[in-house]
Structure 1
């Protein structure tokens, strides 16, 4: 819809083996001149990683992104230049106008076109801007365009709020969108995600069911429902929904990616590989998240060489992912002890997974950072698991809640006075922790230990007395009676 930036001649001599921002910028410009836009994008992204304050690098990247049709990503870089890097780069306003016009946001496009002409009336893009404005005036005569502009703008704002984890604000905006556009299903799906991540699981599920009732077969809703059950550790529903979605064959590439990524997230790597590798073969140019999930799907379906090749693309796009390779999560076949511990993290019960974390903290692997990082990432998204993992695996005692530290002391006390084989006793203790409110105090370690063991032995059919337990843990009989009542309530 207009001119793009012309490659600039640079006088600085580049030494190829010095991989700095200038080096990657030059590589990107060479690819751009050869019209290999995907390669140009990759090199320019590396250039801005090395030198994030160079406005010229950022502007050229924005230009390439626009040519690839990635208008929103292009706009993000243009706004960064205007607000952070170099406010004198007036051409950014022309590119913003061009991008918003392509997105169908004609009011926004007109605003930035007028800004460009006001700031640089005789500029390089002045004539193109005037032509663009003539086209925009024609489009704006359609009143429906105003409504569409408003809808897309609000949806984009809601998406950014979700990315920034501002869930209450996103919920308010998305509910307003739905009120005005009652069949805009994308807003419903995003609203369900906002409620879920804000802790209102029931509301999130109700919205998904509402979408599927009124718009059967909505793939995003089906995938989100599967993800919800996965995080809730409902294995039966996860298997049922995965089998249902395995029969789906999407037409749109976006839906194929959504399906493949969802399968990978819930651990159905066989189904994930089917769709993600299909996209890979047709030369789908995804972001680092696409290659991330493809690497995992390939690795866990026995395609290690492909996984390692794909992982290089992940690191190239996002060096911070180094150390999160799928093979870092693998359990060595020669080590049955570690394999036995890892199996606890595949359970449905949070208490069992907490026990697995405790076992790992007592194992020879407790000081192995690679194993700790792998396990931490493998765990389900649950606040208790996160808190205990930070404490057991990364020794963050100063930042851990008191009940986490107290729980560790209590399970150690139980372990000292009983056999390690009594695993269900220790799991019973973690069940108490899971069921207790955040206000419950576990500071009387001996009392809680004595009460837990007494209740556990009773439920095992063993004949023990509270007096015997009181003597074992050196607490009074009245204290045991008091805490036994608490333990029974929490285990009921």
Structure 2
């Protein structure tokens, strides 16, 4: 009889392999000690993602970013430590001074070096901070101060633009371009500020001005493409895409701009070419870089890369978890109803959907208004209503559209049968024979249109009743009923 194994009396112990923040931090330190900064960065980013409140993890990531030459991203983490994680970590002040010096922002560099010495006169980096201050004094020529002041002004304007404080951004950028007329970045940012504030004409004029004075300016061409895309000018979009697809920019900044612009307008094939090339070359950008790379990778069939890049994006914006490009968006029912009207084939239905959106809370978000533009067909009859309802334009044909909107406001405010009645009003407003009508007397038009609509429904209403309802005279209602009948055949 052969030997048999006896069942062990000891139970097996399963030791879980937990990859927490400390685990990746230690691996990052080993990579850092070996001089492998790119791998160290990866590990430290994983560490801060797993433990967002550990200041030491964030500090080590900031130091690696600085050594990689990514001073602005390093500063973001240093400021996060000081303001959110541990305000007592005064060493961050010295590291900020170093980063600002490398960026050429010498005033800020002096400010943080002096603040570090005030807080830590005998600190570990006291001698280094003193040496840095001496070096800054030697290099502080008048020309450098002027350049530095420009950088500070541009940085403030960019922050205002990113925070969607468009009126303040426009004021700041207009001052810059007057003082520094050849700084094209300020002109291009001013065009964006005009556009997102709703001043489409000024935005387009600014782009034309830049391209006239600096033909081939990449940022101006990209802005022109974005404007054309949001304004649903498909012919211009196609033309600019062909132009930009033939460009091969040398600088990383220009490659990033080109890739992000192609992604924004839905040309994911062209976008992936540039963004993925940047990533493979070792470029490690900010949150938006990973966002666009994740989107373009997903839409070009590189799903594994897309998921990895989305995880990188979440390091910068953890609150965006659940908003992946492959996630199904959720809309409230009211907004979904607006979209259904906009996607109808009838012009009156599309206008009703556009009207409903313009009166909704979503219309307060510029990005949402621009997205609605993309859903609407390229029908020139819609253009004045888009300009008026979404961008607040009040000149030319936009003024007439504004009058129609106020007329529909009156109908909507005075009736429960809003849907059918308002669509009926839009059908009259866009009738070919209505081109000469300004619809300036909104109350009179509302009274006449409601009278006609109710009579068609078989209701027994009088023009006198409509006159009393809208605060106009019976003779005025009679006059406008005749006008409206001419437009409804």
- TM-score with structure 1 length normalisation? 0.68
For 1:59, what is the secondary structure of its paired residue?
A: helix
Q: CA deviation at 1:188?
A: 0.9
Structure 1 pair 63–437 and aligned structure 2 pair: CA distance change class (3 A):
farther
How far off is 1:224 after superposition? Answer: 0.9
- Residues 350 and 98 of structure 1, relative CA distance in 2, 3 Å threshold: farther
C-alpha contact (below 8 Å) 1:455/1:487 kept by paired residues: no
Q: Residue 345 and residue 289 in structure 1: after superposition, are their counterparts in 2 closer, same or farther (change >3 A)?
A: farther
Q: How many angstroms does 1:305 deviate by?
A: 5.2
The residue number in structure 1 matching 2:143 is 144
Q: Answer whether contact 2:211 2:217 (CA < 8 A) is retained.
A: yes
Question: Retained in 1: the 8 A contact 2:225–2:237?
Answer: yes
What are the ranges of 5 or more consecutive residues in structure 1 without an aligned counterpart? Answer: 1-14, 331-340, 359-375, 389-402, 404-430
Q: 1:436 and 2:380 equivalent?
A: no
Partner SS for 1:172: helix
CA deviation map 1:3-46 (0-9, x unaligned)? xxxxxxxxxxxx98445444443343333333333343344344
Cα separation, 2, equivalents of 1:84 and 1:322: 21
> Residue 167 of structure 1: CA displacement?
1.6
Residue of structure 2 equivalent to 1:215: 214
Query: Is the 1:276–1:294 contact (alpha carbons within 8 Å) kept by the matching residues of 2?
Result: yes
Check conservation: 2:342, 2:349, Cα contact below 8 A. Answer: no
Instruction: Say whether 1:324 aligns with 2:311.
Output: no
The alpha-carbon deviation at position 278 of structure 1 amounts to 2.6
The answer to whether the 8 A contact 2:25-2:47 is kept is yes
SS at match of 1:270: helix
Report the equivalent of 1:186: 185
Deviates more, 1:274-283 or 1:443-452: 443-452
Instruction: Output the CA distance in 1 between the equivalents of 2:125 and 2:210.
Output: 46
Deviates more, 1:144-153 or 1:55-64: 55-64
* Number of aligned residue pairs: 403
Check the 8 A contact 2:184/2:210 in 1, yes or no.
Answer: yes
Question: For residue 63 of structure 2, what is the aligned residue in structure 1?
Answer: 63
Taking the aligned partners of 1:16 and 1:489, their CA distance within structure 2 comes to 81
**After superposition, what is the alpha-carbon deviation per residue over 1:387-428, rounded to whole angstroms, capped at 9, x for unaligned?**
x9xxxxxxxxxxxxxx9xxxxxxxxxxxxxxxxxxxxxxxxx
For the residues of structure 2 that align with 1:165 and 1:303, how far apart are their CA atoms?
A: 33
Measure, in 2, the Cα distance between the counterparts of 1:329 and 1:207. 37
Task: Give the structure 1 partner of residue 368 of structure 2.
Answer: 381
Change (3 A) 1:258 1:111: same
Query: For residues 102 and 436 of structure 1, do their structure 2 counterparts lie closer, same or farther at Cα, with a shift above 3 Å needed?
Result: same
Aligned to 1:166: 165
For residues 218 and 454 of structure 1, the distance between their equivalents in structure 2, rounded to whole angstroms, comes to: 46
Q: Secondary structure, in 3 states, of the residue corresponding to 1:284?
A: coil
Shift of the alpha carbon at 1:328?
3.8
Deviation at 1:175, TM superposition (A): 1.5
Deviations 1:245-294 (A, max 9, x none): 12222121211111111111111222222322332343433344333323
- CA deviation digits over 1:403-461, x for unaligned, max 9? 9xxxxxxxxxxxxxxxxxxxxxxxxxxx9999514982313144873585498599699
Q: Could you tell which deviates more after superposition, 187-196 or 267-276?
A: 267-276
**Larger Cα-atom Rg:** 2
Retained in 1: the 8 A contact 2:106–2:148?
A: yes
Query: SS where residue 457 of structure 2 aligns?
Result: helix
Compute the displacement of 1:354 (Å): 7.1
2:110 aligned with 1:110:
yes
What is the DSSP-based 3-state SS (H/G/I as helix, E as strand, rest coil) of the residue aligned with 1:87? Answer: coil
Deviations 1:115-165 (A, max 9, x none): 32233222211222232223212211x220110111111111111111222
Aligned position for 1:132: 132
Residue 449 of structure 1 is aligned with which of 410, 420, 428?
Answer: 420
- Structure 2 length normalisation: TM-score? 0.69
